[in-house]
Amino acid sequence: MASAGLPVPLRARAAAVPVAAQLDAAGQHTSAQASLKQATPEQALVARLEQALNAPNQKGLEALLAPEQREQLGPRLRRFAQRFINARWRLNAGAPLADGSLPVAVSVSGSTLSNGLQYSMQASQQLRLRVSDGLISGQELVQDQSVLTSAREPLPVTLVIPDAVLTGSRYDVDVVLDEPLGQALVAGGLAALTARQVREQQSPTIQLEPMGGGGLFKSVQAPFQPGVQTWAAMLVHPDGVITVTKRVRVVNDRSEL
* Per-residue pLDDT tens digits for 45-79: 999 999 999 998 888 999 999 999 999 887 888 88
Categorize the per-residue pLDDT at 160 as very low, low, confident or very high, splitting at 50, 70 and 90: very high
In eight-state DSSP terms, residue 93 is E
Whole domain around residue 126: which residue ranges? 13-256
**Which residue type does 33 have?**
Q
Within the chain, strands assigned E span 13-14, 17-18, 88-93, 102-114, 117-132, 135-149, 157-160, 164-166, 170-177, 186-193, 209-211, 215-221, 227-237, 240-251
Average pLDDT, whole number, for the chain?
84
Q: Among 10-24, 34-48, 136-150, 206-220, name the one with the lowest average pLDDT.
A: 10-24
pLDDT given at position 35: 54
Is 50 exceeded by the pLDDT of residue 26? no
Is residue 3 in some structural domain? no
pLDDT score, position 168:
97
For residue 172, what pLDDT is reported? Answer: 98
Report the range of poorest mean pLDDT among 64-73, 113-122, 125-134, 173-182.
113-122
Q: Which residues contact 129 (CB under 8 A, 6 or more apart)?
A: 42, 46, 101, 102, 104, 136, 138, 139
CATH of the domain at 131: 2.20.130.20
For residue 108, the model assigns a pLDDT of: 97
Cα separation, 91 vs 109, whole angstroms: 12
| 24 band by pLDDT with thresholds 50, 70 and 90 | very low
Does the global pTM surpass 0.75? yes
- Do 257 and 143 contact (CB within 8 A), yes or no? no
Residue 174 lies in a domain: yes
Report yes or no on 104 lying in a domain.
Answer: yes
In this predicted structure, what is the pLDDT of residue 154?
82
For residue 146, tell me if it sits in a domain: yes
Residue 191 lies in a domain: yes
Q: Is residue 215 part of a domain?
A: yes
Please say if the pLDDT value at position 5 is more than 50. Answer: no
Handedness of CA 69, 70, 76, 77 (dihedral sign): positive
- 4 domain-assigned: no
Q: How many domains does the chain have?
A: 1
Residue 184: per-residue pLDDT: 79
b (16+ CB within 10 A) / e for 172-207: ebbbebeeebeeeebbbbbbebeeebbeebebbebe
Give pLDDT, residue 213. 83
Question: Do the domain assignments include residue 135?
Answer: yes
> What is the reported pLDDT for 57?
82
